[in-house]
Amino acid sequence: EAGVVQSPRYKIIEKKQPVAFWCNPISGHNTLYWYRQNLGQGPELLIRYENEEAVDDSQLPKDRFSAERLKGVDSTLKIQPAELGDSAVYLCASSQGQSNTEAFFGQGTRLTVV
Amino acid sequence: QKEVEQDPGPLSVPEGAIVSLNCTYSNSAFQYFMWYRQYSRKGPELLMYTYSSGNKEDGRFTAQVDKSSKYISLFIRDSQPSDSATYLCAMQNSGTYKYIFGTGTRLKVLA
């Protein structure tokens, strides 16, 4: 069974440029999470989806970040415009349901903003 | 004060040692407790999860939860160099379903 797939693995962009990350969760997993992990820190939740509905986006900086999960499967996370402080690893995770504690993570996208 | 506190380490131990990793938390609503292992430049990998208080064992790993003290532990027996990684504790709020992670403890097992 394929795990959570993210792309790209690495991205380097100049500040003020847009960037997008893509995530394909494990088949059958209704819950999808986007996390940001800064160096030396644990992951911090940005947004959680139940199917196509964003049920928790309280930590998403909505002035520059947006996300979508069309058809309740794949998801994209976008930053526009990127700032230097956005440099981090962006992790996608999925689980069978929001009450299911077994969340599986992708490899992450390492973003560097210069 | 952070909801979840975890000593970042690094923690260096000789091969074969018993390793004890710990987290404390402040939110009584946490009901599920997880331990993830994260190798460098990889995503976190779920090792174990426990519901409420008690112990859970899986091979060389034992997870303990003491809700009265708001303290959780992960023990690794007969540690191996391949156990060298960052270990993240995570907790789920049973009401909001939100996961909160600790900062992670970096472990190095020396051959």
CB atoms within 10 A of CB A13: 17
CA distance B111 to chain A (A): 24
Average pLDDT over residues B26-43: 93
Average pLDDT over residues A65-80: 94
Burial class of residue A105 in the structure, from the number of CB atoms within 10 Å of its CB (0-12 exposed, 13-18 middle, 19+ buried): buried
Q: Is B41 helix (H, G, I), strand (E, B) or coil?
A: coil
Task: Give the pLDDT confidence score for residue A94 in this predicted structure.
Answer: 94
Chain A residues in contact with B36 (beta carbon < 8 A)? 105
Residue B5: pLDDT over 90: yes
B57-81 per-residue burial string, b: 16 or more CB within 10 A, e: under 16: eeeebbbbbeeeebebbbbbeebee
Chain B residues in contact with A42 (beta carbon < 8 A)? 4, 6, 88, 90, 101-104
Q: Which residue of A has its CA nearest to B99?
A: A45
Residue B12: pLDDT over 80: yes
Chain B residues in contact with A44 (beta carbon < 8 A)? 101
> pLDDT by residue (tens digit) across B68-107?
999 999 999 999 999 999 999 999 887 777 889 999 999 9
Task: Give the pLDDT confidence score for residue B49 in this predicted structure.
Answer: 87
Could you state, in order of their start, the residue ranges of all structural domains in chain A?
Answer: 5-113
Residue A16: pLDDT over 90: yes
CATH class, A5-113 region: mainly beta
Residue A80: pLDDT over 70: yes
Task: Give the pLDDT confidence score for residue A102 in this predicted structure.
Answer: 81
Write a three-state SS string for chain A.
CCCCEEECCEEEECCCCCEEEEEECCCCCCEEEEEEECCCCCCEEEEEEECCEEEECCCCCCCCEEEECHHHCCEEEEECCCCHHHCEEEEEEEECCCCCCCCEECCCEEEEEC
Could you state, in order of their start, the residue ranges of all structural domains in chain B?
Answer: 4-110
**Alpha carbon separation from A93 to B15, B35, B57 (Å, rounded):** 32, 15, 25
The closest of A26, A103, A49, A27 to B100, measured between CA atoms, is A103
Average pLDDT over residues A96-111: 85
Q: How far apart are CA A23 and CA A35, in angstroms?
A: 12
Phi, then psi, of A72 in degrees rounded to 5: 70, 20
Nearest-by-Cβ selection for B103 from A40, A45, A108: A40
According to DSSP, the residues that pair with B99 across neighbouring strands are B92
Task: Give the pLDDT confidence score for residue A108 in this predicted structure.
Answer: 96
B49, B33 contact by CB (below 8 A): yes
Determine the length of chain A: 114
Burial class of residue B99 in the structure, from the number of CB atoms within 10 Å of its CB (0-12 exposed, 13-18 middle, 19+ buried): buried
Interface contact A39, partner B, CB < 8 A: no
Residue A19: pLDDT over 90: yes
Q: Which fold, B4-110? A: Immunoglobulin-like (2.60.40)
Residue B25: pLDDT over 90: yes
Average pLDDT over residues B44-68: 92
Residue for token pair 């131990």: B13
